[in-house]
Structure 1
Amino acid sequence: MRQRPTRPNQPAQPPPPFNAQSARRLRTALDMGPEHVAYGLRVSYGLPYITPDLVVAWERGQLSPSDSELAALAGVLWCSPGELIGKPRTLREHRIARGLAPEDIARSAGLELLAYLHMEEHNSWRGNDRQSAALAELLRLSLPDFISVTGREGKLTELLRSAASTRWQAYVRPVGKVVPLDRRLLEDSLQQLHQDYQGQMVASLSWGDGTAANESSDLGRDFLDRIVDHFWAAVQDNTE
């Protein structure tokens, strides 16, 4: 996707993931043309360079709006910024999706603004438990999103791969230090994860043809590549 060149005095930050189809759908639902959106962005939000052609380029996925442009576009389209972006992946993208400024996060979490901006720039959360709880509440993070945003997903992946392929019981406590879940729920979920992985490996080996070993290896590798998704699915299954 082409991106707008960085303007003078504008931080060199990649644009948030933009849902072009959603932007077009919302505009059409309001019976607005690209020219109406461009006019609103120029007059109401002080963006004099916005043209109908630029709005169309956004909607075609040829360009992506910057943080400030996306927030203004949400205002013109009477929606939240979260309705105009794809699934947030980083701390910064979750903040943008909630329509919050960095100052809002820093103040609520009790952080110096520069310290928070450094965390956001490197997508590396370093807050304590109280600050992490404030972050999760302010951004309305699900537990999977919280684990991802706070940089714990890599460690979780490593532990889950070992739990699935060896003795899951040995990983209850280590995983519990990364994911704040009830111990019984965690035990049930890790046991299910282990059983699903081992069951898949055994089933593929029982096919009995010459490619069984290769198929088993491929399936096992695919399962481990998506181990975090499988884990959250197991947690969901055992929560119901």
Structure 2
Amino acid sequence: MSHPPFSPAHARAARLRIGLTPEQVVAAMAQLGVRRAAQAVMSWEAGVVAPSEVELFALADALWCPVPELMALQPRSLREHRLARGFSADRLAQRIGMDGHAYARAESEHRWTGSDRQTLFLADALGLEPADLLGVIGRAGELDDLLRQAVEGRWKQYTTPLARLVGAPERTVAQALRTLHQEYAAFNERYMGHLVARSDTARLKEIATERAEWLRALSDRFLDLVGPGASPSP
């Protein structure tokens, strides 16, 4: 397996912030069962080599900082979310009741195959919000497509598929879709109103830009309306 994402600069800054020498860092890591020479810490901070997953977890503990700080990124993939929570692949697979090989394959192929129950356990273990979970299991694009079709057409027919996708009650989803459909229609009415009134081009472009920005944030807006109870299904 490839080395995890790692920022030498952030690791060095974290060490200096608490005033530890490389020797003291490896001594703290040794107490966690990960024995390395002080040269290893210097090599990581110099960017010569990146730590392994086990080394990354031990280093974060030794430096009293969250793993994501040493990764210096916002977790997006399944593996990145797992690392951010300090899970080894085997431990997470066991936690969610999934075969280790099946989980490893899902991570490497970026294709989630877990059951509904395993997906719920995954979201709980990694602390994933619905939007993040949809991205991790590869269904964010499906949500975007369905919502776009719903607001541009007859939204009622999309209530059931969207309710199943995000794991929310159909009544809640219907209310959210009605609101979104009305908001989208308002953009069109404003645009057509200014078009008929022969407003200047700049005003029409302004409305079109607002609508484009609203569409880009459509999934987030929908999930906010549906509420925290949503839990995407695989």
User: Which TM-score tier does this pair reach, normalised by the shorter chain?
Assistant: 0.7 to 0.9
Match of 1:138 among 121, 125, 139: 125
| Unpaired segments ≥5 residues, structure 1 | 1-10
Partner of 1:147: 134
Partner of 1:89: 76
What is the Cα deviation at residue 100 of structure 1?
Answer: 0.9
Quick one: structure 1 residues 28 and 185, their matched pair in 2 at CA, closer, same or farther if it must change by over 3 Å?
farther
Alignment partners' CA distance in 2, 1:221 and 1:77: 44
Partner of 1:4: none
SS in structure 2 at match of 1:141: coil
Q: Which amino acid aligns with 1:178?
A: L
Quick one: structure 1 residues 219 and 33, their matched pair in 2 at CA, closer, same or farther if it must change by over 3 Å?
farther
Whether the 8 Å contact between 1:188 and 1:238 is mirrored in structure 2 is: no
The correspondence of residues 5-20 of structure 1 with structure 2, limited to 5 A, is 11-12=1-2, 15-16=4-5
Whether the 8 Å contact between 2:26 and 2:35 is mirrored in structure 1 is: no
What is the Cα deviation at residue 223 of structure 1?
Answer: 2.6
Partner of 2:56: 70
Alignment partners' CA distance in 2, 1:17 and 1:136: 24
What is the Cα deviation at residue 197 of structure 1?
Answer: 2.6
How many pairs were matched up? Answer: 223
* Residue 160 of structure 2 corresponds to residue 173 of structure 1: yes
Partner of 1:159: 146
The correspondence of residues 1-240 of structure 1 with structure 2, limited to 5 A, is 11-12=1-2, 15-16=4-5, 23=11, 26-32=14-20, 36-37=24-25, 45-48=34-37, 49-52=39-42, 54-55=44-45, 57=46, 66-85=52-71, 86-204=73-191, 206=193, 208-236=199-227
What is the Cα deviation at residue 41 of structure 1?
Answer: 5.6
Alignment partners' CA distance in 1, 2:106 and 2:28: 34
Quick one: structure 1 residues 122 and 237, their matched pair in 2 at CA, closer, same or farther if it must change by over 3 Å?
closer
Alignment partners' CA distance in 1, 2:129 and 2:229: 17
Quick one: structure 1 residues 237 and 137, their matched pair in 2 at CA, closer, same or farther if it must change by over 3 Å?
closer
Whether the 8 Å contact between 2:168 and 2:229 is mirrored in structure 1 is: no
- TM-score, normalising length: structure 1: 0.74
Whether the 8 Å contact between 2:43 and 2:49 is mirrored in structure 1 is: no
Q: RCO (CA 8 Å, sep 6+): is it higher in 1 or 2?
A: 2
Whether the 8 Å contact between 2:130 and 2:223 is mirrored in structure 1 is: no
| Unpaired segments ≥5 residues, structure 2 | none
